[in-house]
Homo-oligomer: A and B are copies of this chain.
Amino acid sequence: MQYSERILNTPSSFIRNILKVTDAEDVISFAGGLPNPISFPIDALKQSVNHAIEVSGSKLFQYSTTQGYLPLREYIAEKYNKRQPGLDYKPEDVFITTGSQQALELMSKVLINKDDGIIIEEPGYLGAIQAFTLSQPTFYGVTLEEEGLNLEELEKALQQPNVKFIYTVPNFQNPTGLTYSKERREQIYEIVKKHDVILFEDDPYGELRFTGESLPYIGAGKLENSVVLGSFSKTVTPGMRLGYILTKNHELLGHIETAKQASDLHTNIFAQYVIHDYLANNEYDAHVQKIIALYKEQSDAMLAAMDKYFPAHVTYTKPEGGMFIWATMGNGASALEKFHEAMEQKVAFVPGDPFYTDKKGVSTMRLNYTNATPEIIEEGIKRLGSIL
């Protein structure tokens, strides 16, 4: 059997593969990217299941519309409009997807012909690289700096042929934990608005800010071809696979609808009713504050331990929210080699390689802090420090 060119070129997830090793009971793992179970409001969701069934009965179980459950779309539009005045989203600008991973895949499906260009942060989100790769694009990596995308590289990449979109994670980026500054956002907007290109702002972590002030989106609310992606995976539950696309480009959404019909008809409608019922009948903001307090404590613990145990040549980001810290070894060592040494000491992280579309043997690593206590974090960083 001869498989398709596109699947033979798509990497299986390096992270999912190493998780098979790093998930062993006796390993301190900073390799995962799972939300802490505290972020699952289990009792309230259970109540919402029962309540939603009581109110809407068989509608939770029947086939449903491809765009998603209207009251949920209304809720989402309103939530964003409150968060950032001027966004002015309508329910018809909201499209529900089977997790935001599906949104990434649908977007490339409807936009990318083989060899078309995609501009992506370097390092960039692995799930996006995987999803986009299925459409066989040419990736143009633009260095992600402390403040955001490097502007010169961005301008140069936009000169390349058939560039369809720019993919960014402006808040607490995965893998680096970096957040674009207000000034850099404005500079990027000024550059992008001159081009016929879609600006993606993938924002799964945006609500999980534990320090500093919330910043406006780069293009949303101003740019015709702005697309924002959101998710309930980091604040309610990832298991139910609910994400969404926000855009005022309805031609794009029309194509997305056709692609989604062909891909899975519609997103689990039971889950849409339940999450909507949960959001409508609970103190969601208070719930998010609990998650933030926990993640701040964990992030602080990891940064303090790094300060104490990491050698001077290792630098690292100081996230204002989200789930990750990114460390860089100044001595040029291979993070992949260090990964194997670390596993011998029963501590795990993700070496940087899979986050680049065209680099290998890098000296960078991603560390997740949301799934361990401060004590375990300190012990793990101590072990790691001795290796680095």
Q: A70-78, A232-240, A294-302, A328-336: which lies at the B interface?
A: A232-240
The answer to whether B3 touches A111, judged by C-beta atoms less than 8 angstroms apart, is: yes
A132: shortest Cβ distance to chain B, in Å?
9
Distance in angstroms between the alpha carbons of A170 and B168 in the assembled complex: 46
Contacts A63-B34, A110-B4, A263-B101 hold; do A10 and B258 have CB atoms under 8 A apart? yes
Q: A50-58, A139-147, A177-185, A338-346: which lies at the B interface?
A: A50-58
List residues of chain B with CB within 8 A of the CB of A325. none
The answer to whether B12 touches A261, judged by C-beta atoms less than 8 angstroms apart, is: yes
Interface residues on A, range: 35 or more
List residues of chain B with CB within 8 A of the CB of A249. 1
Task: Tell me the residues in window 157-172 of chain A with beta carbons closer than 8 Å to chain B beta carbons.
Answer: 162, 164
Q: Is A153 an interface residue (CB 8 A)?
A: no
Q: Is A127 an interface residue (CB 8 A)?
A: yes
Distance in angstroms between the alpha carbons of A164 and B105 in the assembled complex: 23
List residues of chain B with CB within 8 A of the CB of A2. 162, 164
A45: shortest Cβ distance to chain B, in Å?
7
Contacts A62-B37, A109-B134 hold; do A241 and B266 have CB atoms under 8 A apart? yes
Distance in angstroms between the alpha carbons of A263 and B108 in the assembled complex: 11
Q: Is A268 an interface residue (CB 8 A)?
A: yes
Of A7, A13, A50, the most chain B CB neighbours within 10 A belong to A7
The answer to whether B61 touches A262, judged by C-beta atoms less than 8 angstroms apart, is: no
The answer to whether B261 touches A13, judged by C-beta atoms less than 8 angstroms apart, is: yes
Q: Is A155 an interface residue (CB 8 A)?
A: no
List residues of chain B with CB within 8 A of the CB of A198. 1
Distance in angstroms between the alpha carbons of A61 and B131 in the assembled complex: 23
List residues of chain B with CB within 8 A of the CB of A22. none
Distance in angstroms between the alpha carbons of A129 and B4 in the assembled complex: 18
Contacts A109-B134, A241-B265, A269-B239 hold; do A259 and B5 have CB atoms under 8 A apart? no
**Which residue of chain B has the shortest Cβ distance to A104 in the bound complex?**
B262
Interface residues of A (CB under 8 A from B): 1-7, 10-13, 16, 34-35, 37, 40, 42, 45-46, 49-50, 53, 57-64, 66, 98-99, 101-102, 105, 109-113, 116, 127, 130-131, 133-135, 162, 164, 196, 198, 225, 233, 237-241, 249, 251-252, 254-255, 257-259, 261-271
